[in-house]
Amino acid sequence: MNFRLSPQPLSGFRQTTLLGTAVYMILLVLAAVFYLERMAVLDMAFQTFQILRTGSLQIQSGRFGAAGTQFFAWAAQAINLPLKAVLYSYSLGHVLYYFLIFLIITLGLRQWKWALVLVLLSTLMTTHTFYWLSEMPQGLAFLILILAWLDFKGEIKALRWWEYPVCIVALIAAFYFHPMVLYAMLFCAMFFFFEKQRSKGNRTLFLCAALIFLITALVKYKVLKLDWYDAMSLERAKAYGALWPHWFAIKSNRDFLQWCLFDYYLVPILTAVNTGFYIWKKQWLKAVLATFAPIGFVLLVNVPFHQGDNQFYLENLYLPLAIFTAVPLIFDVLPGTLPEKRIWLAIAGISALGLLRITLAHRNWSARVNWEQGILEKTASLPNRKLILTEEQAPMDTLILSWGSAYEFLLLSALEHPDSARCLIIDEAAWRFDSLRNEPDLFLGEFKNYPFEALPKRYFNCQDRSGYTPYSPN
């Protein structure tokens, strides 16, 4: 493929490549060290179980972009690697996905500013979402790749005939990673539309990309049939009307402000820096955008969740704020205030803080895994080792959610050998399994139960043929 040179100065190419490579190498190390904290938890435990059970990718709620990371677990099981290697592959794959995009942007497109935006996406706000993995950051990274390609092309008239359908499909795919990627696209389109030194063709290119996003959203929510998850999201949206004009006096806003003090402190600080820079330069439209887009987006997330929710889940929804902050910082503020060599020192400092924050955040997730491993060890010598626990018997401040427990216990118990796989489940309504307690060859799961013969014996060769027993710690 023949790439033409980008209008971005290439002086930052080497520094960006070195910085980004260092950041992603550190994230790879963390992904290896804390692979159980990332894989034996909730959604990842469930998806891993299903990939191993079916031998195929597991796309949930039409979010097809998840295939980019699920591929690593699928490939590992396809070549018959043991369970531990599958979990390592899946955990490392979630970092390799971003690193591969980074390399395409730097080595292929030579768009070092977009590469730095990607680095900040991975470090500026990410804390608990390093451990609780979702499609949102994957979609944002894919969007950054598309935007870098659009900047590489420069003008809408520079696209070849076959690149139009490719671009449209890529933009639709980015939306289908997670619907809220839309707001990052809209922000970037407005940001570059306000940048008068860009050519009309370049600004038109970004506006057309945003239009494709909007059309895709319209078709998804107004034409196509919604699945239960998206329908639930629309149901939550009724809170906008119900709570007006009291959008600010809600618990989720107070929670967000508290999290900003301890985890997301760089977001409000850098937002204020961006705003101050644009006021100083008298770029009023960008000043308004840099100030009110983050505030409006926080309300967009918080009002439907006005009663609050788990930090890791809401952090996932907040992640477009990293784009709102990073794009003005990388494209305008740092080049307009610092000598060129110090730009990378500033990004390195921000990234270092992020890597430290991510490392320290493992404590909550390690405590969760350690408790589950402790239960497995404590009950290993019981005559009946297929157990049903109530949430009252679990430290829910540590466990947080119990719905993934059956898959988590199965993975953790089978790590050393498939024959050691065990069946335990924690449930808020454990009584609903009473009629199944005497089934000797049944794996009880949150959403569906499976006969042992339906489980892949090379990973889960359950040996216990006793019935399920209510757990009694005494």
Whether the CB-CB separation of 39 and 144 falls below 8 Å is answered with no
3-state helix, strand, coil in the chain (%, to 5): 70, 5, 30
Residue 348 DSSP SS3: helix
Bridge partner residues of 469 (DSSP)? 387
Shared domain for 119 and 229, answered yes or no, is: yes
Shared domain for 330 and 392, answered yes or no, is: no
In angstroms, the Cα distances linking 35 to 45, 84, 96, 397, 407 are 11, 9, 14, 22, 15
Shared domain for 80 and 131, answered yes or no, is: yes
Shared domain for 393 and 353, answered yes or no, is: no
The answer to whether residue 1 is domain-embedded is: no
Shared domain for 336 and 403, answered yes or no, is: no
CA distance 238 to 268: 28
The answer to whether residue 461 is domain-embedded is: yes
The per-residue pLDDT for 469 is: 93
C-alpha gyration radius of the chain = 24
Closest CA to 24 of 121, 112, 119: 119
Shared domain for 348 and 379, answered yes or no, is: no
The per-residue pLDDT for 8 is: 52
Shared domain for 314 and 438, answered yes or no, is: no
Question: What's the domain count of the chain?
Answer: 2
The answer to whether residue 4 is domain-embedded is: no
Digitized pLDDT (tens) for each residue of the chain, 474 residues in all: 333 434 455 567 889 999 999 999 999 999 999 999 999 999 999 999 999 999 998 887 777 888 899 999 999 999 999 999 999 999 999 999 999 999 999 999 999 999 999 999 999 999 999 999 999 999 999 999 999 999 999 888 888 999 999 999 999 999 999 999 999 999 999 999 999 888 888 899 999 999 999 999 999 888 888 777 777 777 888 888 889 888 999 999 999 999 999 999 999 999 999 999 999 999 999 999 999 999 999 999 999 999 999 999 999 999 999 999 999 999 999 999 998 889 999 999 999 999 999 999 999 999 999 999 999 999 998 888 999 999 999 999 999 999 999 999 999 999 999 999 999 999 999 899 989 998 889 999 999 999 999 999 999 999 998 899 998 876
Shared domain for 353 and 383, answered yes or no, is: no
Shared domain for 349 and 416, answered yes or no, is: no
Domain boundary among 295, 329, 360: 360
Shared domain for 226 and 195, answered yes or no, is: yes
Record the pTM: 0.94
Shared domain for 38 and 83, answered yes or no, is: yes
155: tokens are: 């003008």
Shared domain for 294 and 395, answered yes or no, is: no
Cis, peptide link before residue 245, omega less than 30° from 0 = yes
Determine which helix (DSSP H) or strand (DSSP E) holds 134, and give its type and residue range.
Answer: none
The answer to whether residue 304 is domain-embedded is: yes
CA distance 116 to 327: 9
CA distance 297 to 140: 15
Range of the structural domain that residue 383 is part of: 363-470
Residues sharing a CB contact under 8 Å with residue 470, sequence separation 6 or more, in sequence order: 387, 388, 389, 430
Which residue shows structure tokens 């330069």? 281
